[in-house]
């Protein structure tokens, strides 16, 4: 696990950065006040039917793609 990192990495001046932070504060307060953090939305069609990304990949019509192995990012799911 990485250590806490406190560098800002922002190219802005302190004054400008503070403006951004103030607006973030204001908007966060508004979101909390309205109970507005999002829930993970539902997905449509294939995923509603319980079809995985792997199934979607398998159903791709392009034969060139089908010749290659199942992609690394789908294999991890």
Partner 1 sequence: MDGAHIEMRLGRLREILDGESYGLCCGPGDVVHRLTAAKGREVLERVWLSGQRLGDRQKSLLLLFFFGSEVPKTAIESVLPVSVCSALVELGLISESGSAFRTNGCSILPFEGSYLFAPQLLRSWIGSRLYLGADSLRLVETMQRSRSAGQTFEIGAGTGIVGLAGARGAYAASEIDPWCALVAQTNFVLNGQTGRCQVTQGSLYDGCPTEGVEFIVSNPPYVPEPLTLRLPTFAGGGEDGLVVVRQILEAAPGGASCVLALRVYGDGRGTRLEEELRRLSSGRRAEVWYSSRTRLREADFTALALGAGVPDSAVSFAEHYRRQGFTHQFDAVVTVRSDSRPGLSIVQAFDGWDDDSVPVRTGLGLPDEDSVARSVLNVIDGRRTVSEIAATLHFETGRQDSAIEAVLAVCRQASLAGFLRLVQ
Maximum distance among all alpha carbons in the chain?
56
Q: How far is the CB of 54 from partner 1 (least distance, A)?
A: 12
Give the separation between CA 41 and CA 31, rounded to whole angstroms. Answer: 17
- 37 binds partner 1 per the rule CB under 8 A: yes
Distances (CA, A) of 68 to 40, 57, 64: 32, 11, 7
Give the separation between CA 64 and CA 14, rounded to whole angstroms. Answer: 53
- 45 binds partner 1 per the rule CB under 8 A: yes
- Sketch the per residue contact string, 6 through 25, with partner 1: x for CB under 8 A, - otherwise: xxxxxxxx--xxxxxxxxxx
Residue with the two structure tokens 């793609």: 65
- 43 binds partner 1 per the rule CB under 8 A: yes
Q: Residue numbers of the site for partner 1 (CB under 8 A)?
A: 1-13, 16-28, 30-31, 33-34, 36-45, 47, 53, 57, 60, 62, 65, 68, 71-73, 76-77
């Amino acid at each position: 696990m990485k250590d806490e990192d406190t560098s800002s990495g922002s190219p802005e001046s302190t004054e400008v950065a503070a403006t951004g932070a103030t607006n973030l504060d204001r908007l966060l307060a508004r979101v909390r006040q309205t109970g507005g953090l999002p829930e993970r939305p539902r997905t449509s069609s294939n995923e509603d039917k319980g079809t995985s990304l792997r199934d979607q990949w398998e159903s791709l019509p392009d034969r060139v793609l089908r010749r290659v192995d199942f992609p690394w990012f789908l294999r991890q799911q």
